[in-house]
Each structure stands twice: as structure tokens, then as C-alpha cells.
Structure 1
Amino acid sequence: MSCYPINRRSLLRQLGVPCALTAVAPLSVWAQKPATLPLARIVVGSGAGSVIDNLARRVSERLQGGYAQSVIVENRTGASGQLAVSYVKGAAPDGATLLLTPSPHMVLFPFTFQSLPYRPAVDLLPVSLGATFDLAFAVGPLVPTQVRTLKEFVQWCKAHPDKAQFGSPAAGSTPHFTGAMLARAENFALDHVAYRGPNPAVLDMVGGHIAAACAPLGDLQTFAKTGKCRVLGTTGRKRSTFTPGTATFLEQGYSDVVIEDWVGFFLPAKTPAALVQWAQEDIARALSIHELKEAMASSCYEVVSSTPDALAARMAEEAARWKGVVTALGFTAMS
């Protein structure tokens, strides 16, 4: 998305980030490791059984007994995940309340909503990445089987404008903008159908009600493996390890459509640096366990940790990109 240049320092000031990222001192500089908490919770904005909930529960099992005597997962759904973020924003900065949330809440929502009940870079402290995942663009039975690439889909849409539709989990989502960026790059009309989550969009696509759908790769993989849809492209910088035979948007000539969504762990602002570092180290150990990585691979999640500073830097870079994309596409901020 490099065609949307943004002054990084200007953006950081807009989001409330100091020009120098707040460094978190290694735990070794502190006199002693903080005491094990009696209870900690990981708050997620999606329901029980969701992929993010699954990751949170697997991490909570590994944190229990070390980071805290007991670690629970709390599902606070509503307002597109904003309720969960707001709840953690208002929690005590004592390390006992962690947020696990998808990247759009941190880097995209500031530009797609007229107002948010939180400021990502001010009200929350980055702790660690949890996982990354690619988006995928797929077509169903409404599109002829000979259409196997994004370019061929574009040509089919131009020949059948009445069928040129794609679905996504929501208006203003990263999958929505993926399809919109494809349409803008090829200068053709591709109608967007907004659903409430990825599953309804994917089901309508495999059912032949709409031509295509864009969603996290994991939501499409089962249908692709059984031949009910065809994945035409993925959005990572390189091919997904889960679909090595599928070319990326970048490989197919769409250099602006490079999107790696992620989920990350956060703590409330003003949490002491020692607690942030302690949380990061324990989360990183949990995420390094092979069984956890294997379990999340079934949802096409690549489990990975990071330092707090690395996550903060990634947030700033991606926020700059998304601000440019939203502006270029002329998307009207939602209330």
C-alpha cells in the first residue's frame, strides 16, 4: 500500500503517540520479578468458540500457575469488538486484565469510525503479537470453473457486470477494502455486500448467491479443500504456508494489496513497565509451544510473539497505510 504516502511523525502525533516509542526495560534491570497474580483475565471481543477465543483459552492455560494462579477468558462482545477494548482501557493497570484483539481495532477503526471510545496508542500498551493471518479472495459456483486467477475474475466481472459482487464480514473491514482496492486498481465496478461476520458471506458465496467473498483464509480453507470454492489470491507479502499453491495479490500484479492481519495482546495504559515485560515474556513462552502452534494452524493462524516496541512500531506503520487507503477509497466514516 505504498502509494499512499503519510508523514509518520504527523500520524503518530494524530494518534497520540510520542515521537519516540516508549521503551520497556528488560526485566533483568528490575530488582525482582513481580509476584504471581491471584487472578488474571484475557478479554476478547468475540464469542466463545471463535478463533480468537480459542487462542486466548490456549494461552490462558499456559499462563496459569506462573503469571497468575488462575487465568480466565472473558468474552465481551458488541459494538464490533469495541466493548472489549473499552473495558480493558478502564481496567486497573495492575497486569491482571489483558486484551487480545484483532489489528483493525488498533490500526483501522480510527479512520472508519467517526468516534471511538478509546485511543489505541494512548489508552492501551502493546505487549506482544499473538498470531498473524492472511485474507483470501475466493469465488464460488456462480463463477465458471475456468476462472482461476484474479485477472480472470476481473475480466469475468467486466463481461457480467450484473453478477460482479463480493461479500465481506462487514463494511469498513479489511476484507471489504481488499475487494475495493482490487476494483480500484482495475477500474471496474465490484459491488460490495456487507454481512455480519465472515461465515454468512462465505456461505452465500459457496451457495451461489454471490460471486465471491473475501475473508480470513481460515474461514475459506475448509470449503476450498472440498472444492466448494476456489481461492484466487491471498493478501500476504509471501504465499501462505497453508495454501502454497495459491499466488498472492502481490504476485498477480496488485502491489498495494499486501495485508497481514494479526491479533495482539495489550494492557491498560499506565501499567508499570515491569508488568508489561513480565506479561510479554510469559505470553511469548506460551506461544512458543508446538502444540499450541499446531492447534491454531487448523484456522490458518501463524502463531508468533513480538516485543512491545515491535508491536507499537507495526501499529504505527499500518495505521499510516490504512489512513491512506480509507482516504483514497473515499470511505465515509461510520457513526
Structure 2
Amino acid sequence: MKKRLFAAAAFGLAATLTVSNAAMADGYPNRPVTFIVPYGAGGPVDVLARTLSEGMRAALGQPIIIENVVGANGTIGVGRAVRAEPDGYTVSIGNWPSHITNGAIYNLSYDIQKDLVPVARLSQNPYVAVVRKDFPANNFAELIAWMKANPDKATEGTAGLGSGQHISGVYVQKITGTKFQFVPYKAGSSDIIRDIVAGHIDFTFDQAITSLQHIKGGNVRAFAVTSDKRLDAAPEIPTVDEAGAPGTYILTWYGLWLPKGAPQEAIDKLGEAARAALADPTVRAKLLSLGQQIPPPEQQTAAALAAFTKTEIDKWHAIIREAGIKAE
């Protein structure tokens, strides 16, 4: 009797293990995947994450959960992703400020190139000079002239020290000889735009992905894009070259990373799903309408993101240090 019970128990255990192994054999992913967004809901990275997740969900066969972890210009959210279990189910989605410039500004507890594994390079966009409706200037040249005549009177909203808005502002000050105040916001673009619309601050350099809806809605005005090419989604906005600050080119790009030690299967499948989403006509149309530029497929791979990350770190860390931008 005992032998039969033992045999039955052993059979049951074997069956359980067989089912478990079979589930593992089904491959990655077999449960929802979480994207850690290091900025607030409604900001550029959040909007991109939600748009991209719609296309990736079909390819992965699992839902994608968006978790906003804000603070310290994205460093808290990225740190959360770095410390996550490297099982492929926690993904770091970020951009040029969160994954490139922060390393030159803050004393981080992690190293982007050593503690995260590249998965896919995503879309990119320039910044837009966004100004409150009743500011006493009608174009970028008049804005610069006003700030020269009124040093330290204008206020620019930023996502914190070394954020894209901050670096763009520092560039403009250097090139145009102007001075204005920086006003930091914990949640980033979403709160900045809200306060520009309300008239609490004067302007910002916001990403097209979040600013275009407010520009087209007439809530704010757009004076220039930080590029040598106009946006397809808003061709009426002049470039910085045309608007009076030539050469002030700032481009924010986005990517996906996993914690170091993540399974290769997870890296491959997430990368494939991201590329499938970027190729999907519906997703592409949505991104293009938000002022995004989508790189060709060969520039969307994990290897391409690794190489591009190194190039950007080498370039921008030197520029930031020369400008003396450093957290206390």
C-alpha cells in the first residue's frame, strides 16, 4: 500500500515537473511584461511606451504593464529597472536624458553600459521651443531679443538638472548670449506643459511627441524645432537655423534595455516585437503624427543600440562636463 502511495506521489510529482518543464518549453514570455517608465504619466517616454506596447502585445502574446517610477530626472526609475530580477519581465524604456546624459551629471549607483543589456533602438524626435500664448514675442528671434533685454526674467520649465530641456536651454544661452531661469519639475514634460498652458512659466524645449497636441490645439505656441529639418507632422514650425539660433541641434531618441543577466531569448523576442511594432502601419502612423522619426530596421537592433549608446555617451558626456553641468 505504502509502495503504491509512494509510486502515485512520485508519478504526481513527475507529472507536475513535466507540466512545469512544458510550460518553460513554451518559451518566453508566459506572463505579462512590465515597462519601467522613468518619468510621469503623459510625458514623452510614457506616450511612446503606451503606443509601442499596443503593437508589441500582439507579437509577444502577453500584455505589457506600464509602471511610472518618477524622480531625479529619471534616475530613480532606471535604477529600479537595473535592480529588477533579470528574468526578462522587467524592461527599462528610456531616452537620451535618462540613459545618456544622466551619467555625466549624477553620481549613479549603476552604469548603463555595464548594468543594462540593449534590446532595441526605437524612434527619435527633436525638441520644440514651446512658449505660453501671451508671452510678449511672436517668434523665436523676438523671444531671444526680449530675453537679451530682460536677463534672468524669463522662466524655462525643465525635467531637472541635465534633462533635455535643461541642456537645450544651456545651449541656447551659450549660442544667443541670453540668460533665463530654469524651473525643475519632478514629473517632467506633462507638468511643464500644464504650467505653460496655465501661464505659470514662460517656455520650454519640449519633445514633439508631447507638445504637438497642445500646439495644434492652440494652447501654446511653437517657435522652432531643434533640428535642421522641419517636422513632417508640423511643417509650419521653423527650424532653429531659420529661427535665429543656427546649429542648436538637440535630438532625443528612445530605447529598450533589460537588466544585466537577462536570458538571450527575452532579449531576442522583445527586440523582434519592438521591430514588428515599429513596422506596423497603425503604430507608425501614430508615431509619425506625434513628430517621431523611425530609424531603418538595421538601426533598431540590440547591436545598433549598443553602438549608438557608446557614441552618444562619448559625445555628450564631454559636452556636459565642459559646460559644468553637475549635480551637487
Gaps of 5+ in 2: 1-24
Q: Do 1:163 and 1:210's aligned partners in 2 also have CA atoms closer than 8 Å?
A: no
More helix by share: 2
- Give the 5 Å matches for 1:114-153: 115-145=107-137, 147-149=138-140, 151-153=141-143
Tell me the secondary structure at the aligned position of residue 201 of structure 2: coil
What is the CA–CA distance in structure 1 between the aligned matches of 2:55 and 2:214, rounded to whole Å?
32
| Residue identity in the other structure for 2:261 | K
1:326 corresponding residue in structure 2: 320
Q: Is 1:248 matched with 2:239?
A: yes
Aligned-pair CA distance for 1:215: 1.5
Cα 1:93–1:164 shift into 2, 3 Å: closer
Return the match for 2:229 from 214, 238, 247. 238
Q: Do 1:38 and 1:70's aligned partners in 2 also have CA atoms closer than 8 Å?
A: yes
Q: Do 1:108 and 1:323's aligned partners in 2 also have CA atoms closer than 8 Å?
A: yes
What is the CA–CA distance in structure 1 between the aligned matches of 2:146 and 2:101, rounded to whole Å?
31
**What is the CA RMSD across the aligned residues, in angstroms?**
2.9
- Give the 5 Å matches for 1:143-292: 143-145=135-137, 147-149=138-140, 151-161=141-151, 163-196=153-186, 197-252=188-243, 254=245, 256-273=247-264, 275-292=266-283
1:5 corresponding residue in structure 2: none
Q: Is 1:73 matched with 2:81?
A: no
Cα 1:245–1:121 shift into 2, 3 Å: same
1:111 corresponding residue in structure 2: 104
1:18 corresponding residue in structure 2: none
What is the CA–CA distance in structure 2 between the aligned matches of 1:212 and 1:57, rounded to whole Å?
26
Q: Do 1:101 and 1:264's aligned partners in 2 also have CA atoms closer than 8 Å?
A: yes
Q: Is 1:101 matched with 2:94?
A: yes
2:80 corresponding residue in structure 1: 87
After superposition, the C-alpha distances for 1:58-112 in whole angstroms (9 at most, x for unaligned) are 5444444653x53331415133433432333234444333221222121111111
After superposition, the C-alpha distances for 1:298-317 in whole angstroms (9 at most, x for unaligned) are 54334556011211222122
| Residue identity in the other structure for 1:200 | D
Tell me the secondary structure at the aligned position of residue 318 of structure 1: helix
Q: State percent identity of aligned pairs.
A: 26
What is the CA–CA distance in structure 2 between the aligned matches of 1:269 and 1:236, rounded to whole Å?
34
Deviates more, 1:56-65 or 1:252-261: 56-65
| Residue identity in the other structure for 2:169 | G
What is the CA–CA distance in structure 2 between the aligned matches of 1:74 and 1:207, rounded to whole Å?
28
Q: Do 2:86 and 2:258's aligned partners in 1 also have CA atoms closer than 8 Å?
A: yes
What is the CA–CA distance in structure 1 between the aligned matches of 2:52 and 2:216, rounded to whole Å?
28
- Greater Cα radius of gyration, structure 1 or 2: 2
After superposition, the C-alpha distances for 1:229-269 in whole angstroms (9 at most, x for unaligned) are 32111123422222212222244464552121122111222
Cα 1:223–1:320 shift into 2, 3 Å: same
Q: Do 1:235 and 1:257's aligned partners in 2 also have CA atoms closer than 8 Å?
A: yes
Tell me the secondary structure at the aligned position of residue 133 of structure 1: strand
What is the CA–CA distance in structure 1 between the aligned matches of 2:216 and 2:257, rounded to whole Å?
35
Cα 1:221–1:64 shift into 2, 3 Å: closer
What is the CA–CA distance in structure 2 between the aligned matches of 1:284 and 1:194, rounded to whole Å?
34
Q: Do 1:108 and 1:322's aligned partners in 2 also have CA atoms closer than 8 Å?
A: yes
Tell me the secondary structure at the aligned position of residue 205 of structure 2: strand
What is the CA–CA distance in structure 2 between the aligned matches of 1:57 and 1:253, rounded to whole Å?
35
1:316 corresponding residue in structure 2: 310
| Residue identity in the other structure for 1:98 | V
Cα 1:206–1:62 shift into 2, 3 Å: closer
How many residue pairs match? The answer is 298
